[in-house]
């Protein structure tokens, strides 16, 4: 019988993350003890994405097996065949990503009224996709059967990629997944046999069980952008200034734009357009996410219709757009074939 002490689980189970399959083996073993059919371990780090429990009949061998199912946070016991030895491993959060725990953010937005956003756990890029990251995946992708509408631009390797349309970003997500050995999320057929690699597929089939990268939904983006705070116009509060974000300031139109410098951000107008800033140039929000507003607006997965027509949602504003587009709850529409010098993206990963 395997049980666990309830005092050692609450933090690690905030996302109900338990055992992963053998194909997703833990990459690091943490200290654990086994005695009289009971396994226990200490909560070692905040950077744990998942715990994995493994067993063997010979602890001196390399033949360890996934237990195959999880331990419930209520203290539920499970029967397993004996004799066995156990160990506990972890699957770390991917580099430069942040784990957003499941929850609800409810409040009253100063401009858009009451809202309530509920999400499951997911990981999100800490930074907007940089030109360097884009290029590393793009080079691999074009050598492995992918075709893009645009090659992507960037003022420097540490600036966000821009001049990419929605199709490019979705295919890039698949390529990043395959490059890292993950299951791609987007396909051209309902049987999920043809990975979306080329052409313009406006409504790819989404494999919900895939562990690969994807564009965020608007709920994921807004939940992440709020950084754990409620009822705010911007991630940090009610007003915006160039000290907080890279956007186009207008002293006359928006009362919440209180920047002492106007028009484009003066620190980034050198070298011609685009006037992007290096990713991570400004203070992060409460989730340690950078540039959730300003720099480049970010593609999301959802369809959206407004006065310009029907397209995909973009969020966050940019170096080119005004303070109103930087509001967390502001929603803009962009045609999916459009690539601009002020639109980029970041990706998310599901947590299963």
CB atoms within 10 A of CB 173: 26
In CATH terms, the fold of domain 95-352 is: 3.90.1580
Establish how many alpha carbons lie within 13 A of residue 45's alpha carbon, considering only the half-sphere containing its beta carbon: 15
- Say how far apart CA 66 and CA 97 lie, in whole Å: 26
- 300-327: average pLDDT: 95
Q: Provide the pLDDT confidence category of residue 90 given band limits of 50, 70 and 90.
A: confident
Tokens for 197, please give them.
């690699």
- Say how far apart CA 159 and CA 176 lie, in whole Å: 19
Q: Is 70 exceeded by the pLDDT of residue 38?
A: no
Q: What is the pLDDT of residue 23?
A: 31
The secondary structure of residue 22, as a DSSP letter, is G
Q: What is the pLDDT of residue 85?
A: 72
**Sequence spans of domains, the chain:** 6-92, 95-352
Which pTM does this prediction carry?
0.83
Q: Provide the pLDDT confidence category of residue 73 given band limits of 50, 70 and 90.
A: very low
- Say how far apart CA 164 and CA 161 lie, in whole Å: 8
**Quick check: 62 and 25 in contact, CB under 8 A?**
no
pLDDT 10s digits, 119-134: 999 999 999 999 999 9
CB atoms within 10 A of CB 36: 5
DSSP for 119-159 reads E--EEEESSPPBHHHHHHHHHHHHTTT---S---B-SSTTS
Instruction: Give the lowest-confidence range in 50-59, 137-146, 167-176, 342-351.
Output: 50-59
Establish how many alpha carbons lie within 13 A of residue 12's alpha carbon, considering only the half-sphere containing its beta carbon: 27
Q: Is 80 exceeded by the pLDDT of residue 79?
A: no
pLDDT 10s digits, 98-116: 999 999 999 999 999 999 9
* Cα torsion 333, 138, 203, 205: sign: negative
Which one, of 66, 111, 62, 17, lies nearest residue 350 by Cα? 17
């Amino acid at each position: 019988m395997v049980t666990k002490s309830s005092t050692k689980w609450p933090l690690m189970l905030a996302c109900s993350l338990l055992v992963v399959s053998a194909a997703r083996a833990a990459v690091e073993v943490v200290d654990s003890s086994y005695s009289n059919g009971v396994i226990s371990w200490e909560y070692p780090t905040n950077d744990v994405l998942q715990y994995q429990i493994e067993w063997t009949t010979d602890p001196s061998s390399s033949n360890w097996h996934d237990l195959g199912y999880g331990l419930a946070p209520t203290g539920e016991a499970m029967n397993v065949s004996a004799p066995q030895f156990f160990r506990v491993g972890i699957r770390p959060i991917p580099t430069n990503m942040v784990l957003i725990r499941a929850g609800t953010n409810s409040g009253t937005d100063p401009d858009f009224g009451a809202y309530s956003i509920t999400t499951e756990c997911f990981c999100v890029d800490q930074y907007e996709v940089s030109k360097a990251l884009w290029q590393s995946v793009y080079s691999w992708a074009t050598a492995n059967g992918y075709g893009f509408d645009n090659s992507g631009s960037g003022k420097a390797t540490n600036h966000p990629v821009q001049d990419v349309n929605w199709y490019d970003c979705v295919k890039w997500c698949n390529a990043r997944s395959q490059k890292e050995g993950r299951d791609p999320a987007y396909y051209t057929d309902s049987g999920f046999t043809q990975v979306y690699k080329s052409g313009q597929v406006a409504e790819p089939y989404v494999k919900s069980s895939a562990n690969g990268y994807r564009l965020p939904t608007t709920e994921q983006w807004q939940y992440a952008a709020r950084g754990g705070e409620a009822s705010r116009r911007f991630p940090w509060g009610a007003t915006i200034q160039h000290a907080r974000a890279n956007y186009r300031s207008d002293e006359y139109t928006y009362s919440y734009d209180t920047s002492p410098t106007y028009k484009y951000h003066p620190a980034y107008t050198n070298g011609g357009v685009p006037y992007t800033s290096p990713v991570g140039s400004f203070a992060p929000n409460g989730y340690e996410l950078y540039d959730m507003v300003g720099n480049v607006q970010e593609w999301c997965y959802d369809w959206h219709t407004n006065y310009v027509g029907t397209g995909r949602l973009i969020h966050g504003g940019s170096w080119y757009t005004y303070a109103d587009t930087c509001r967390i709850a502001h929603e803009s529409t962009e045609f999916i074939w459009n690539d601009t010098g002020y639109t980029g993206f970041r990706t998310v990963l599901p947590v299963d």
